Every structure is written in C-alpha cells, then in structure tokens.
Structure 1
Amino acid sequence: MKTIGLIGGMSWESSALYYQIINRGIQEKLGGVHSAKSLLYSVDFNEIAILQKEEKWGELGELMIETAQKLEKSGADFIVLCTNTMHKLSDEIEKNVSIPLLHIVDTAAEEIVKHNIKKIGLLGTSFTMEQGFFKDRLLNKHYIQTIIPNEKQRSDIHQIIYNELVKGIISNDSRNIFLEIISDLIDKGAEGIILGCTEIELLVTNEYTEAKLFKTAEIHAKKAIEFSLE
C-alpha cells in the first residue's frame, strides 16, 4: 500500500470528509481492521483565505510547495491536494516534488466521460468558476465544455462557501439557492453538475436534486484509494 500525502485544512471540514472516505474505502477493499497509510498536513485556512482574497498566488504557491515537500520528505508516495481552488497551483507543486500529484480535475473528468457528458455545469469558489485552471483543463485535456452561473449567482455561491460551509454551517436557505442555480444551469444545457468545491457536497446531495452530480472530493478521495493500492 502506498502512503498518501494529504494537503488539508482548506477547510478542515472537507479534509475530514477525505480522511473518512479514504479510510472507509481501504477497509472495504481489504477487510478486517485495515486503514489507509497516510500523512495529513493541515494548514491554517485563515491564512490561506486572506492570501486568496488578496490575490497573492505567489505566496500561496510557496506555501503549497513547502507543504508538498514536507510530505514527500516524510515518506508520502503521492500528493492529494484536498481542495479544488488550490489546484490553480498544481503545476507549481508538481515542478517542485518528485512524487505524483493526483489532480482533482482529471479524476472528475474520468467520471464525467464515463457518462458520455460533453457539457457540464460548474459550481465552486469564484476563483474556480471564473479562472481558467479548472475549465481550461476540462476542455483542453478532456474535451468537456463548462457552463458557469451568472455573476450574481457566482457571488452568492462564493459567499455561502466562505461564510457558511467552511465553518460547518448548513442552511436550508443556502441549499435552496444552490438548487435554483443548478436548475438554471440544467436549463442552459448542462448535462450534469460538478460540485467543484469540496464543501458544497456537505450541502447539496441527490436527496435534493435529480441532476447528475459529480462530487469532486468524493471522486478524488476514491481515486486516491485506487492509486494507493496499485
């Protein structure tokens, strides 16, 4: 079994979900009292969130590289970055470690392709929805087109993520906002919806919508299980 190097804390709510999925999955596959071999480096999300807001991606890159290198030196065989937004810095991380980084966009795309979907709705932080690092990789590497919410909807999503979900606050009113946005994206031609922020899947599940949901954190964590057992 390979040792998984998890970069977490962005937020710890979603990191806990990763840890739970990975360890339960290993136990299901191997039986008995097996659990994953893993190293978790959990950052202070307050520091990260401030730098994100100030668009200081250079400093964020240095933090992510330093963290990944610490995991590599501690014995990790590959890196799992437990956040969508910080995959903006995935190229920088990969250039500065000698172990693989399991990319969240590629793992999500693999599942989307299985369903023969060519046009997908994307929900996430404003960084993920508006910048190119997620959408461009989907299109250029996997030939999947992306539809994003309108400006007001993107603002609502971003505020709910940072003011509620990262703090573990689950609100029915906020869920209804997400469900209305999902319905709007489907009306605009989306064949499924990427929950492209690891906290969103704490709020939106198929209990509340018939839309095909691609939960990036869950997909990513399950792929980490497979990779660790190869």
Structure 2
Amino acid sequence: MQTIGLIGGMSWESSAAYYKDLNLGVETRLGGYSSAKTVMASVDFAEVTALEEAEDWDGVATILAEAARGVEKAGADFLMLCTTTFHRVAEQVEAAVDTPLLHLADVVAEAAKARRVDTVALVGTTFAMSRTFFTDRIASHGLQVHVPAPEQHEMVNAIIYNELVHGKVLDSSRRKIVELIDQLWDGGAQGVILGCTELELLIEQADVEVPLFPCTTLHVEAALNRALA
C-alpha cells in the first residue's frame, strides 16, 4: 500500500472527511483491521483565506508548497490537496516537490467521461465558480463546463462559509442548493459537480435526479485505486 500525502486544513471539516473516507475505503476493500497509510499537513484556514481574499496567490502557494514538502519528507508516495478552491495554486505546489499530485479536476473529468457525460455544471465557492482555473482544467478533457449565474454565487458561498465549514447542515440550505441544481439541469447540464468538499455534507444523489459528481468522494476513490494498485 502506498502512503497518501494529504494537504489539508481548508477547512478542517473537509480534511476530516478525506481522512475518514480514505480509512473506510481501505477497510472496505481489504477488510480486517486495515486502514489507510497517510501523512497530513494541516494549514491555518484563516491564514490562507485571508491571502485568497487579498489575491495574494503567491502567498498561498508558499504556504501550501511548504506543507507539501513536509508531507513529502514524511514519506508520501503521492499528494492530494484536500480542497477545490486552493487548486488555484496546484501547479505551483506540484513544482515544489518531486512527489506527484493527484489533481482533483482530472479525477472529476475522467469520472464524467466514464458516465458518458459531456456537459457539466460546477457548484462551489464564489472563487471557484467565478474564475476559470478549475473549469478550464476540466474542459481540457473535452467537456463543456457551466457555472451558475453570478447573482447566485453569493448564496452558495454563504452556505459554504457561514454554515458548512462550521459543521452546520440546514434543511433550508439544502432546498436552496437542490433548486439551483434543478435549474442547472434545466439549462442543459447533464451532470453537476459538487465542487466543494463541504457541499457533500449537504447534498446527496438521492436529493436530485441529475447525476452528481461529488469531488471528495471521487478524489478519495482515485486515491484508493492508486494507493492499493
């Protein structure tokens, strides 16, 4: 089994989901007392969020690259960024180490193609929806990618940052996101990417008819496939 390097803390709720799901996945696949071999560096979410808001992406890259180097020194065979938004600096992080990075956008794109979906919509943080660093990477796999209208971004962002990152899961917010997903489906999306780990705390496939592509779940599955190959 390979050792999985986790760069987390963005938020800690997201990192906890990654850690739990990786260990449950290994236990399911191997049985007995088996658990995942992992090393994690967890950064201060307040610090990197402040840098994000200041558009200081070199500062974010410096922090995450240092975390990556620590995880690499601890024996990781490959790395994962336990976040969608901060994949904005994924290339800079990968360049700082010799250990390969399992890029989330590549994983999601391959999952969509496996389902024969060629048009997807991304729901995530305002930054992830309003910038193209993530959607362009997905589109490079031959997919069309849409995002909600700009006037809907703040609603999604508020649910993520004011509720989900603090562990608050509200039925009223679930209804809002389900309504948004239905609108995206009506607008031509053949599938919807849950582009923020915390959204998976709120929305499940049973809540909607359109196929969902939950980033954390898919990222974890790809990591397990690699670690256990």
Q: Which residue of 2 aligns with 1:177?
A: 176
TM-score using structure 1 length: 0.97
For 1:155 and 1:181, the matched residues in 2 are separated by 13
Map Cα deviations across residues 19-78 of structure 1 (whole Å, 9 max, x no partner): 111111111211210111100111111112211112111100000100000101111111
Partner Cα distance (2:26, 2:165) in 1: 26
Residue 209 of structure 2 aligns to a residue whose secondary structure is: coil
Report matched runs for 1:1-230 at 5 Å. 1-140=1-140, 142-230=141-229
* One-letter amino acid of the structure 2 residue matched with residue 133 of structure 1: F
User: What CA deviation, in whole Å up to 9, does each residue of 1:184-206 have, x standing for no partner?
Assistant: 11111000100001110100112
- TM-score, normalised on structure 2? 0.97
Question: Secondary structure of the equivalent of 1:199?
Answer: helix
1:12 Cα deviation after fit: 1.0
Equivalent position SS for 2:69: helix
Instruction: Spell out, residue by residue over 1:82-109, the C-alpha distance to the aligned partner (whole angstroms, 9 max, x if none).
Output: 0001111111011110011000011111
1:153-189 CA deviation, whole Å, 9 max, x = no partner?
Answer: 1111111111111111111111111111111111110
1:209 Cα deviation after fit = 1.3
Q: What is the CA distance between 1:207 and its match in structure 2?
A: 2.7
Task: Give the secondary structure class of the aligned counterpart of 2:75.
Answer: coil
Coordinate RMSD, CA, aligned = 0.9
Q: Which contiguous aligned blocks of 4+ residues in structure 1 show a shift greater than 4 angstroms?
A: none
Structure 2 unmatched ranges of 5 or more: none
The amino acid of 2:150's aligned partner reads: E
- Check conservation: 2:130, 2:150, Cα contact below 8 A: no
Separation in structure 1 between the aligned mates of residue 118 and residue 222 of structure 2, nearest angstrom: 21
Identical-pair percentage: 44
For structure 1, the 5+ residue unaligned runs are: none
Q: Distance in 2 between matches of 1:167 and 1:213?
A: 23
Distance 1:90 1:81 in 2: 8
Q: How far apart in 1 are the matches of 2:43 and 2:139?
A: 31
Corresponding pairs, count: 229
- Partner Cα separation in structure 1 for residue 146 and residue 107 of structure 2: 19
